[in-house]
Amino acid sequence: MTVLLETRNLSKVFDAFRALDRVNLAIHDGELVSVVGPNGAGKTTLVNLLTGLLAPTDGQVLFMGKNISGVGPVELAEHGLARAFQLIQIFPKLTVAETIAAAVVSRQKKHWRLFSRLAADDQINKRVSEVAGIFGLRHRLDTVSAVLSQGEKKLLDVASAFALDPQVILLDEPTSGVSTADKHTIMKTLIAAAKLAGVKAIVLIEHDMDLVAAYSHRIIALSEGQVLADLPPDRFFADPHLIETVIGKRRGH
């Protein structure tokens, strides 16, 4: 399988604290890989390194074989790696159409001053409608983001990242704050949308072990800044010591 995203001896030190210590991982074409671990394991630092928000102290992040360490999320999106950033929390007064359009415009490198100008651009409108349709949000295009249900807000967050046409997408707890009944619906929608959009791989940062077990091809467990395990779900959940170390008593809660 083709390696899309890779880290080599990736380390990050903040003053005297080593948040990540020589982490090696690889994400292949066609995979959904979950990254799990207790608080303080290094998950957030890893995400920020993978998406260019932080530069590593040592080691490399490679995307499609190219060193992308610390390039920043904007340039990274141009390469084909996107992260769901929860834009609706930043721009709650924008409509669903405007939120998706902002991502489409940034992808197309078009410059505009007012959202009213978007109405004149049929190409943008067509793409906005396509993305909204993939996520079941087409009937909500004129709705202000702030009044969406929590589940719809999550879908819109990810739809904005999908609008960047990524080859790999990183989802950081995409169902947090959503009712248990809606979590699987959202995950199934995200996975189906990824296939429709041509996304080649998904990296999922998740603490809900039921979701991790249901949808992962592999599970990478972090503990104290190091990779503790990199296993398929059946082997991961068959190891009681590993589960206790990484998750404690959180499964099913």
For the chain, which domains are there? Answer: 1-80+166-183+200-253 (3.40.50.300), 90-165 (no CATH)
State the Cα–Cα distance between residues 221 and 227, nearest whole angstrom: 6
Res. 212: pLDDT tops 70: yes
Quick count: other Cβ atoms within 10 Å of Cβ 103? 23
Question: pLDDT-based confidence at 253, cuts 50/70/90?
Answer: very low
Average pLDDT, the chain: 85
Top-confidence residue, 89 or 151:
151
pLDDT greater than 70 at residue 33: yes
For 41-54, the pLDDT digits (tens) are 888 899 889 988 88
Give me the DSSP letters along 37-89.
Answer: --TTSSHHHHHHHHTTSS--SEEEEEETTEE-TT--HHHHHHHTEEE---GGG
- For the full predicted model, state whether its pTM sits above 0.75: yes
pLDDT at 109: 57
pLDDT at 199 over 80: yes
Over 70: is that where the pLDDT of 116 sits? no
Per-residue pLDDT band at 86 (split at 50, 70, 90): low
Residue 108: what pLDDT?
63
Phi-psi region of 97 (alpha: psi -120 to 50; beta: other; left: phi over 0): alpha
Confidence band of 84 (pLDDT split at 50, 70, 90): confident
Min mean pLDDT across 3-17, 91-105, 116-130, 196-210 is at 116-130
The pLDDT value recorded for residue 87 is 61
CB proximity list for 94: less than 8 A, separation 6 or greater: 88, 102, 115, 144, 145
Q: Is the pLDDT of residue 72 over 90?
A: no
